[in-house]
């Protein structure tokens, strides 16, 4: 019997091989001997199908046949274009579409990852990175612009997560100005006690404090050019105790009233005052190069590249830094004074906060003169808005009512939706409480929000661990859900077992009852017989 089974298996295998050989011979004869009565188009289709059936040809053969196929109309994919032309096409995509295109193929991934558009996207949202040299995508040590963009975009979601709050104590009176320098991890504060203090952003410890300057400090600004050299690792020596600090300390005289706002760029210093003027100073020569006259007290200013935005009274202005011409004006931006100002790095949008407790968004391209209608308006506060801070996509406002409002303007910054959202906007995504009253200044950056007010303390809201905490919370929720499902499953199993045991007990009771009745009847019958 075993030998017979082996012979039968060999016969069946042989038949199968004969059938496959016949089929292969039939296919080869069909391809090698074309039908003289067939049309040429069918011959092309037969050759195309035959080329596709060979796995050794790969995708290149199929693509070539697709190009040579007259039925395709000569159409080609975008990957067949020169890389330079593809790169120019990618210039017209936004960040989201460029990220989607990079997932299509390896060629598009390499072109989209090294594309120069990522630098424009990054600088348009957050400006150039401070404290670092220009980044080159060719150097393997530094991060590419795409990596920087993705990392910063991921961190921007942390302001909706959990936070920890630190209180920095040191000022003896109200804090009027707070400035955050994320590149150096420093916080600068000043107030009614006439002292400028410097804090470590990570530890919350006081690093240095200046001597009493004899007047209220209403504005503080700093950048990486002012950081210390030669033994001052954290800051220029604001105490004035060292001999080297005397050469770096200077005063700029020119304003005839209190200075309310100050800002810096690489070559200039901007200052605004209650003398109704904004002065532009040359940082190298320490001299005033231009004066911008206003019709009311100047409350705030924000420079961007070749322009500077200012607020005076209830109006907002845009000035050209090079020639001092007024480029645009927004009349009656608020009911009362416009105390606060913020701008996007793309220079086309302006945020204002005023005495009426409202925060408004204006588009600068359309306000060439006269009044301009705001794109969006928020009224998150019941008192005057004292300060605004913007870091894409979050706009943070502080008010005299003792609250902070966090507004996500990501949707509003899309140029295609601005005309549809005129005057209507979502309410603030988050409100931060816990203050007394009168918050005068706010700063945002590096996953932190700093504010100072009448309490005389500086509060720092730390969101750096928000994403990690959210991941842990999600993991714990998943574990709890899994444990709950397991307990539910065990309960269902126990209930099933108890149900089957109850059924068995019921059946057994019925059987016992029937058996007892029979025994009783049998005993009764036996007793009757015995009596008889």
pLDDT tens per residue, range 271-286: 999 999 999 999 888 8
**pLDDT mean over 214-231:** 74
Least confident piece of the model among 145-154, 183-192, 415-424: 415-424
What band does 461 get if pLDDT is binned at 50, 70 and 90?
Answer: very high
What band does 395 get if pLDDT is binned at 50, 70 and 90?
Answer: very high
pLDDT at 127 over 90: no
Q: How far apart are CA 291 and CA 327, in angstroms?
A: 15
pLDDT at 414 over 80: no
pLDDT at 64 over 90: no
Give the per-residue pLDDT at 87.
74
- What mean pLDDT value characterizes the chain? 75
> Which residue did the predictor score with more confidence, 353 or 348?
353
pTM: 0.68
pLDDT at 521 over 90: no
**pLDDT mean over 467-471:** 75
CA dist list (Å): 353 to 370, 384, 427, 430: 19, 8, 15, 17
> Which residue did the predictor score with more confidence, 515 or 188?
188
Residue 83: left if φ>0, alpha if ψ -120 to 50, beta else—which one?
A: alpha
Question: Tokens at residue 490, please?
Answer: 């065990």
Give the per-residue pLDDT at 420.
42
Contact 358, 377 (CB under 8 A): yes
Q: How far apart are CA 223 and CA 399, in angstroms?
A: 26
% of the chain with per-residue pLDDT over 70:
68
Q: Which of 277, 383, 404, 370 is nearest to 339 (CA)?
A: 383
Give the per-residue pLDDT at 317.
95
Least confident piece of the model among 20-29, 224-233, 351-360: 20-29
* Domain spans, the chain: 80-128+145-158, 165-228+255-469
What band does 397 get if pLDDT is binned at 50, 70 and 90?
Answer: very high
What band does 60 get if pLDDT is binned at 50, 70 and 90?
Answer: very low
What band does 162 get if pLDDT is binned at 50, 70 and 90?
Answer: confident
Q: How far apart are CA 406 and CA 399, in angstroms?
A: 12
Angle (deg, nearest 10), helices 83-90 and 106-113: 60
**pLDDT mean over 412-431:** 65
Q: Which of 91, 152, 143, 86 is nearest to 120 (CA)?
A: 91
Least confident piece of the model among 49-58, 91-100, 339-348: 49-58
**pLDDT mean over 462-477:** 80
Which residue pairs, CB below 8 angstroms and at least 24 apart, start in 376-383?
376/409, 376/412, 376/421, 376/422, 376/423, 376/424, 376/425, 377/423, 377/425, 378/405, 378/407, 378/425, 378/427, 378/428, 380/405, 380/407, 380/427, 380/428, 380/431, 381/357, 381/405, 382/357, 383/357
Q: Which helix (H) or strand (E) holds 59?
A: helix 58-68
pLDDT at 470 over 80: no
**Other beta carbons less than 10 A from residue 159's beta carbon:** 23
Give the per-residue pLDDT at 489.
86
Give the per-residue pLDDT at 170.
93
Residue 59 CA from chain centroid, whole number: 39
pLDDT at 394 over 60: yes
SS3 label, residue 373 = coil
CA angle 297, 302, 307 (to 5 degrees): 105
Q: H helices within 105-220, ranges in order?
A: 106-113, 117-126, 145-155
Q: How far apart are CA 19 and CA 39, in angstroms?
A: 30
Task: Tell me whether strands 439-445 and 448-453 are parallel, antiparallel or unpaired.
Answer: antiparallel
> Which residue did the predictor score with more confidence, 186 or 54?
186
% of the chain with per-residue pLDDT over 90:
34
Give the per-residue pLDDT at 331.
92
Give the per-residue pLDDT at 308.
95
Q: Which CATH number fits domain 165-228+255-469: 1.10.30.50, 2.130.10.10, 2.40.50.140, 3.30.2310.20?
A: 2.130.10.10
Question: Tokens at residue 211, please?
Answer: 């001597």
Q: How far apart are CA 180 and CA 186, in angstroms?
A: 6
SS3 label, residue 102 = coil
**Other beta carbons less than 10 A from residue 178's beta carbon:** 29
């Amino acid at each position: 019997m075993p030998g017979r089974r082996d012979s039968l298996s060999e016969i069946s295998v042989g038949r199968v091989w004969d059938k496959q050989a016949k089929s292969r011979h039939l296919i080869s004869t069909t391809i090698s001997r074309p039908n003289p009565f067939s049309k040429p188009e069918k011959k092309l289709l037969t050759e195309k199908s035959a080329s596709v059936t060979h796995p050794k040809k790969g995708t290149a053969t199929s693509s070539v046949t697709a190009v040579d196929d007259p039925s395709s109309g000569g159409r080609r994919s975008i990957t067949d274009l020169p890389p330079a032309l593809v790169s120019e096409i990618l210039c017209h995509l936004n960040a989201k579409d460029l990220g989607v295109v990079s997932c299509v193929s390896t060629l598009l991934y390499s072109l989209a990852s090294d594309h120069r558009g990522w630098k424009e996207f990054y600088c348009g949202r957050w400006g150039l990175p401070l404290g670092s040299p220009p980044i080159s995508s060719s150097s393997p040590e530094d991060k590419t612009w795409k990596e920087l963009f993705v990392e910063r975009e991921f961190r921007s979601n942390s302001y909706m997560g959990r936070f920890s709050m630190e209180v920095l104590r040191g000022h003896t009176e109200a804090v009027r100005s707070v400035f955050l320098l994320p590149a150096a991890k420093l916080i600068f504060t000043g107030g009614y006690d006439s002292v400028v203090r410097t804090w470590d952003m990570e530890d919350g410890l006081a690093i240095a404090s200046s001597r009493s300057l004899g007047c209220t400090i209403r504005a503080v600004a700093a950048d990486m050019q002012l950081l210390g050299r030669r033994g001052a690792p954290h800051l220029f020596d604001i105490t004035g105790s060292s001999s080297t600090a005397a050469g770096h300390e200077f005063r700029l005289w020119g304003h005839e009233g209190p200075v309310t706002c100050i800002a810096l760029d690489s070559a200039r210093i901007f200052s605004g005052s209650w003398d109704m003027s904004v002065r532009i100073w040359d940082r190298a020569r320490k001299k005033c190069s231009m004066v911008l006259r206003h019709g009311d007290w100047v409350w705030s200013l924000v420079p961007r590249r070749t322009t500077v935005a200012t607020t005076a009274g209830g109006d907002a202005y845009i000035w050209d830094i090079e020639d001092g011409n007024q480029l645009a004006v927004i009349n009656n931006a608020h009911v009362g004074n416009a105390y606060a100002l913020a701008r996007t790095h793309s220079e086309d949008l302006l945020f204002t906060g005023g005495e009426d407790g409202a925060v408004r968004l204006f588009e600068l391209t359309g306000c060439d003169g006269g009044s301009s209608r705001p794109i969006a308006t928020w009224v998150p506060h019941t008192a005057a808005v004292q300060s605004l801070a913007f870091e894409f996509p979050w706009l943070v406002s502080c008010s005299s009512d003792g609250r902070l409002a966090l507004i996500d303007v990501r949707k509003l910054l899309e140029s295609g939706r601005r005309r549809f959202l005129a005057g209507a906007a979502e309410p603030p995504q988050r409100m931060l409480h816990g203050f007394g009253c009168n918050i005068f200044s706010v700063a945002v950056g590096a996953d932190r929000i700093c504010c100072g007010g009448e309490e005389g303390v500086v509060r720092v809201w730390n969101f750096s661990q928000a994403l990690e905490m959210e991941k842990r919370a999600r993991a714990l929720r998943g574990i709890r859900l899994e444990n709950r499902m397991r307990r539910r499953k065990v309960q269902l199993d126990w209930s099933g077992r108890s149900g089957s045991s109850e059924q068995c007990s019921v059946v057994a009771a019925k059987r016992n009852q029937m058996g007892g009745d029979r025994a009783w009847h049998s005993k009764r019958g036996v007793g009757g017989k015995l009596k008889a």
